[in-house]
Chain A
Amino acid sequence: MALDVRPAPGGARVAPPPQRRRWRTRLSRLDVSLSPYLYISPFYLLFLVFGLFPLGYTFWVSLNHWEIIGGHEYIGLQNYSRLLTDDQFWNAVGNTFGMFLLATVPQLLLALFLANALNRKMRAPTLFRMGVLLPLVTSIAAVAIVFTQIFGRDYGMANWFLHFFGVHKIDWQANKWSAWLAVATMVDWRWTGYNSLIFLAGMQAIPRSLYEAAAIDGATRIRQFWSVTVPLLRPTIIFVTIISTIGGLQLFTEPLMFNSGYMNGGSLRQSQTVMMYMYENAFQRFQYGYGSAVAWMLFLLILVFSLLNFLIIRRLSRGAT
């Protein structure tokens, strides 16, 4: 598939003297075997310096009792054992997964249907296809500020709208379910369009002939969607799910802004995510060691959960075929 830009071997040039020729062959062989690695090396070197090294260093910090002043002391895995019995940590984990599920499941389904709709023949397709991406261009902070106002207790649009149905004012920040819902809405507003474009790209790679064949066999549009589109979209679905998992478990800015910038995520930590708990420990309580342990736990959680997602989705969409 990929474009081959390697110099074509040989050629109709005048043959150079044998010695130089041997040297050249060796060079070009080296070029073929080595240059791909050289081309990608900047990424990996940068990753090493800015990705892998901090990761390792964070792990080292997490093995220490490390405060902002007064040095540090090696305490082994004590931070981790403390973390396992820390109800505030598990509360944050629960919130993170709660908001992740509440945001991601409807978001991916919505994105899938949206992509399917955008895949049909329509006027000005580029306009509509780019249109769904617009929310992504706005800054998270702006989105969060606007949505926080919408979900305001006293003067918010959501409560104004709900009062027509006789719903009493909801203090969105005060309840777990309402805080999760509000944050999930922000996330969905921003990311649904992005995911549907990725789905759309995957859909366009599905050969039209399959749909024609299915239509001849008498399959309805819905049947075509579930029996042709979804199974063939499997790699895309896996990709999108894993990316959403990573993003969803690192949720930070939206719930932070939703709580007026307070890292505790509400009076009873209703919407504090693991990222916020990490920040609170490391940069507000200045317990770097403990904060680093939270960061590593989050890393492991994401790893495990992404793997789990991968397995489940592979199984699910295989079942569909």
Chain B
Amino acid sequence: MRVIRHRGRIALAMMLSATLAAATACAGDDTKSDGGADQKITLNVDDFGTFGYQDLYKQYEAQHPNIKINERNVPKLDDYTPRLQQWIAAGAGAGDVVAIEEGIMVKFKSQPDKFVDLKKYGASSLQGNFIPWKWEGGMSPDGSKLIGLGTDVGSIGLCYRSDLFKKAGLPTDRDAVTKLWPTWDDFIATGKKFTGKVGGDTKFIDSPETYYNTILMQEAGKGSNQTYFDQSNKFVMESNPAVKAAWDETVKMSQAGLANGVQFLSDQWSQALKKDAFATAPCPAWMLGLIKEFGGSGQSGKWDVAGIPGGGGSWGGSWLAVPSQSKHPKEAADLAKFLTSPQGQIGAFKAANNLPSSPQALNDAAVKAFSNPYFNNAPVGKIYGPAATSLKPVYLGADNQEVRQAVEADIRAIAQGKLSPGSGWSKAVSDAKKASGTG
């Protein structure tokens, strides 16, 4: 008996000392010196998708010899968000500058103390550099702190494959193509024509969920400016006509057999893109960069950009924030200011076509005149620019991403023919409730 108790005490002591060692290790990490001005500072930047910052980083490093920038890109937003969420909550691990997408901004803004107030680092004077609603979107809910500086806005066009349209006997000129589809029903009719002529493995649209999100943002922008949640974060999916309208329209597309049905940004999606397996994709400005990246050089010149059915809309767009856990808040804030400055936004636009949220950048001659060779020299500056200033922001609740993913899964199941459109809606509502923790 005594031996056992004795051994227990030894084990306890060893466990305690191990814990202590771990604790001191953590403390040591926290108190690490900041390093003098002559020492090199590494700033980690966390982002997703394509931000088009590579050249800007080089430029900034050349101007600031003591700064080294390390970008930690995660291709898919859906993978990026939970990671960022965990880092922010844990108080460690996040980069010095982090990108926050509009769909998750509300969630992060509800934790204002986790982020540095950029006003303290001289950002107050920059208000004129941003479209008013984009600037407002970066403020904490009580309006006291500036959490994020706007990067891009997501005004929407429609990308189409002019070579495949030609094959289907459809017009290929972008203005004529825009005239084909004033409404989404016209778009579906065009799609049926296309499918009748081309057929085979080539479908008219890529993933139904990208169309669903596009239409949802359009519909929401027209009316209530909300999707699944109202401004008080109450779940309103069932009573919001915008969601049902987007749902119904997307179901129609699937039923007409237009959808390829690959999951957006999956390996199969990029394969399908390379193998001409879909002819159109909804194109918020940031999508242009993704299509170019995943399509590769073989698709160059085959894509073009037309207007979106159903009028303008906005989907996506981000902010840059500095988590308060950053050890170099001043340097990080300066970098964020640089990247979101009109010049920075013009650079990002040229590299990835992310549409600026800065009026100066939108009015810049270089942006207005910019045409994208990958998209058959489409004048993307002219196509996207004018809509940007008239966009209205849509309120996306704190659990937006989880709910969106749940609904998208059901939309895909319908396209796969595994879920009947009739029972699909009620399933989507209950899945959405579950995902938001309210069901």
- Using CB atoms and an 8 Å cutoff, list the residues of chain A in contact with chain B: 37, 41, 44-45, 48-49, 68-69, 88, 145, 148-149, 152-155, 171, 174-175, 260-262, 264, 266-269, 283-287
Closest 8 CB pairs of A and B: A260-B266, A267-B413, A267-B412, A174-B416, A68-B89, A267-B409, A268-B413, A284-B82
Q: Whole-angstrom distance between the alpha carbons of A49 and B20 in the complex?
A: 12
In the bound complex, residues from chain B placing their C-beta under 8 Å from that of A149 are: 267
CB-nearest residue of chain A to B265: A260
Q: Is B78 an interface residue (CB 8 A)?
A: yes
A264→B409 contact, CB < 8 A: yes
Q: What is the interface of chain B mostly: helix, strand, loop, or mixed?
A: helix
Partner of B275, one of A154, A171, A266: A154
CB distance from B268 to the nearest CB of A (A): 6
In the bound complex, residues from chain B placing their C-beta under 8 Å from that of A262 are: 78, 263, 405
Enumerate 22 A-B pairs (CB-CB under 8 Å) in ascending A order.
A37-B7, A44-B11, A45-B11, A69-B110, A88-B434, A148-B267, A149-B267, A152-B267, A153-B262, A154-B271, A154-B277, A155-B271, A174-B417, A260-B263, A260-B265, A260-B266, A267-B409, A267-B418, A268-B409, A268-B410, A269-B409, A286-B82
A45→B14 contact, CB < 8 A: yes
- Given A45-B14, A69-B89, 19 more contacts at CB 8 Å? A48-B15, A49-B15, A68-B85, A68-B86, A69-B110, A149-B267, A153-B262, A153-B268, A154-B268, A154-B272, A154-B275, A155-B275, A260-B268, A262-B263, A264-B406, A267-B416, A267-B418, A284-B402, A286-B85
Q: Whole-angstrom distance between the alpha carbons of A49 and B13 in the complex?
A: 12
In the bound complex, residues from chain B placing their C-beta under 8 Å from that of A286 are: 82, 85, 89
In the bound complex, residues from chain A placing their C-beta under 8 Å from that of B265 are: 260
Q: What is the interface of chain A mostly: helix, strand, loop, or mixed?
A: loop
In the bound complex, residues from chain A placing their C-beta under 8 Å from that of B179 are: none
Partner of B86, one of A49, A153, A171, A283: A283
Q: Whole-angstrom distance between the alpha carbons of A88 and B431 in the complex?
A: 10
In the bound complex, residues from chain A placing their C-beta under 8 Å from that of B82 are: 283-284, 286
Q: Whole-angstrom distance between the alpha carbons of A171 and B268 in the complex?
A: 11
CB distance from B407 to the nearest CB of A (A): 11
In the bound complex, residues from chain A placing their C-beta under 8 Å from that of B11 are: 41, 44-45, 48
A264→B268 contact, CB < 8 A: no
Q: Is B24 an interface residue (CB 8 A)?
A: no
Against A, the Cβ 8 Å flags (1 = close, 0 = not) of B411-436 are 01100111100000000000000110
Tell me the total A-B contact number using a CB cutoff of 8 A: 80
B201→A154 contact, CB < 8 A: yes
Q: Is B30 an interface residue (CB 8 A)?
A: no
Q: Given A49-B15, A268-B419, are A285 and B409 also a contact pair (CB < 8 Å)? A: no
In the bound complex, residues from chain A placing their C-beta under 8 Å from that of B418 are: 174-175, 267-268
Q: Is B76 an interface residue (CB 8 A)?
A: yes
Q: Is B377 an interface residue (CB 8 A)?
A: no
In the bound complex, residues from chain A placing their C-beta under 8 Å from that of B86 are: 68, 283
A264→B271 contact, CB < 8 A: no
Q: Is B437 an interface residue (CB 8 A)?
A: yes
Q: Whole-angstrom distance between the alpha carbons of A69 and B109 in the complex?
A: 13
Q: Whole-angstrom distance between the alpha carbons of A157 and B5 in the complex?
A: 63
Against A, the Cβ 8 Å flags (1 = close, 0 = not) of B235-246 are 000000000000
CB distance from B130 to the nearest CB of A (A): 28
In the bound complex, residues from chain B placing their C-beta under 8 Å from that of A267 are: 409-410, 412-413, 416, 418-419
In the bound complex, residues from chain B placing their C-beta under 8 Å from that of A174 are: 413, 416-418
Q: Is B387 an interface residue (CB 8 A)?
A: no
Q: Whole-angstrom distance between the alpha carbons of A319 and B263 in the complex?
A: 50
In the bound complex, residues from chain A placing their C-beta under 8 Å from that of B275 are: 154-155
CB distance from A262 to the nearest CB of B (A): 7
Against A, the Cβ 8 Å flags (1 = close, 0 = not) of B65-102 are 00000000000101100100110010000000000000
Q: Is B18 an interface residue (CB 8 A)?
A: yes
B268→A261 contact, CB < 8 A: no
In the bound complex, residues from chain A placing their C-beta under 8 Å from that of B405 are: 262, 264
Q: Is B233 an interface residue (CB 8 A)?
A: no
Q: Is B111 an interface residue (CB 8 A)?
A: yes
Name the residue among B111, B265, B271, B410 with the largest chain A CB count within 10 angstroms. Answer: B271
Q: Whole-angstrom distance between the alpha carbons of A145 and B267 in the complex?
A: 9
Q: Whole-angstrom distance between the alpha carbons of A145 and B270 in the complex?
A: 14
Q: Whole-angstrom distance between the alpha carbons of A148 and B271 in the complex?
A: 12
CB-nearest residue of chain A to B434: A88
In the bound complex, residues from chain B placing their C-beta under 8 Å from that of A49 are: 15, 18
Q: Whole-angstrom distance between the alpha carbons of A264 and B272 in the complex?
A: 22
In the bound complex, residues from chain A placing their C-beta under 8 Å from that of B263 are: 260, 262
A152→B268 contact, CB < 8 A: yes
Within 8 A of A (CB), among B256-285: 261-263, 265-268, 271-272, 275, 277
CB distance from B90 to the nearest CB of A (A): 9
CB distance from A144 to the nearest CB of B (A): 11
Within 8 A of A (CB), among B126-160: none
Q: Whole-angstrom distance between the alpha carbons of A88 and B433 in the complex?
A: 13
Q: Given A153-B268, A154-B271, A267-B412, are A285 and B14 also a contact pair (CB < 8 Å)? A: no
In the bound complex, residues from chain B placing their C-beta under 8 Å from that of A48 are: 11, 15
CB distance from B423 to the nearest CB of A (A): 12
Q: Whole-angstrom distance between the alpha carbons of A171 and B416 in the complex?
A: 8
In the bound complex, residues from chain A placing their C-beta under 8 Å from that of B416 are: 171, 174, 267
In the bound complex, residues from chain B placing their C-beta under 8 Å from that of A268 are: 409-410, 413, 418-419
